[in-house]
Structure 1
């Protein structure tokens, strides 16, 4: 069962998210919070697997709460939700360790699928946000590209193959089939790459690979 915390300053939005998710047999909404501060407290109390959290809230906003949660031991996977697909929000959220970024007009089916996807350790972005990220990174200055490639140079050839596949959005099973290795071996390569690069999740790996111009 995937345990979910819903965080939004509007009670109607929280109720709507609960109504969307609770009919799923494998998802349980264990708590709600109305701002970032309440979210941090609720995570410590309820230990959810996934947090669905609004970006803009009074008091502690979602981006600040995300940074607080990422500093905790065994943090939950966090999907940021917003009605505004502004680049600054997206970049800050993903750099801070968000596992996903969805707009509030995401369909109920896609929302539940996103929760399952990030709970399994993968990332989930709204398609038009993904396109904009790729367009943005395509225009990076050469110095930024060189810096990103220098960071990636610590990886072995096999780890490099795996992180490039991660950046393409492939799951561990798909990477295993493509590179002729077991899913467990892929997972081990991903874990070692994260440790070497000082990153916390697959989204950050994908961003670094794109920074390097390698997708």
Structure 2
């Protein structure tokens, strides 16, 4: 007779505990969208939301997450400043609109386990990335992968230069990027010149990347009507009547512009 304490080989094993995730983003709409997306999966649970790096750190201390999704630009304590304090607590994946190569490289240098730029991944790819980062498998969207490749090439060039001159070395290896807190960084030139809000600048970036309104709405977790309202304001500020004209001004490719934005 089988002992009551001995499990039967025919018993169905209990499902594994869901991955515990913290979502840190200063935009409540983005947080809500990510939480709804991830919580809809049976093996993922969003255990806390945070509006800046300090809140993410405090939540991580008490909620013991398996993965932290972290935005870069947030008021208060920004993502890069919080990153070294979060990495010892749980794997961190950057999930952000920030696509500057210096920021991507610095996030990876500080221990981020992945870097996803909004608009460059599908919901299923995001879910896969969350699961993989927990297991130590890095995920990078196209922009982040390009930044990493640029860094590797720079380091290779630095090593070649060092072979010919022992007093020189890779700037990235010996003088890593040390940004000011992002809450004090100046906005991009075009954003400042045209007085676009942070959200309008994000949407203008997506327009310039070739996305249509439906894709922008999905990437930003907002309605298409809201996207259209933002675009109307953007066109007014850029004195443009078409996406092509607005993109040319935004990227600094129109005659008389003050140089490329990127």
Greater fraction of residues in helix: 1
* Deviates further, 130-139 or 42-51: 130-139
Instruction: Specify every segment of 5 or more residues in structure 2 that has no aligned partner in the other structure, as ranges.
Output: 1-17, 163-168, 174-262
User: Among 62, 65, 72, which residue is 1:55 paired with?
Assistant: 72
Give the Å deviation of 1:84.
2.2
The structure number with the bigger radius of gyration is 2
**1:70-81, aligned counterparts within 5 Å?**
70=87, 72=88, 75-81=89-95
1:124 counterpart residue number? 139
Q: Give distance in 2, aligned partners of 1:10 and 1:128.
A: 22
Q: Does 1:30 find its partner at 2:47?
A: yes
Q: Which residue of the other structure, out of 67, 84, 103, is the alignment partner of 1:67?
A: 84
RMSD of equivalent CA atoms:
1.8
The size of the alignment, in residue pairs, is 144
CA distance in 1, matches of 2:104, 2:146: 12
Q: TM-score, normalised by structure 1?
A: 0.63
**Any runs of at least 4 consecutive aligned residues in structure 1 with deviations exceeding 4 A, and if so which?**
none
Q: 1:88 aligns with which of 89, 98, 102?
A: 102
Q: Structure 2: how far apart are the matches of 1:35 and 1:131?
A: 27
1:8 aligns with 2:22: no
TM-score by length of 2: 0.52
Distance 1:135 1:87 in 2: 8
Greater RCO (Cα-Cα under 8 Å, separation 6 or more): 1
Give how far 1:133 is off.
Answer: 1.7
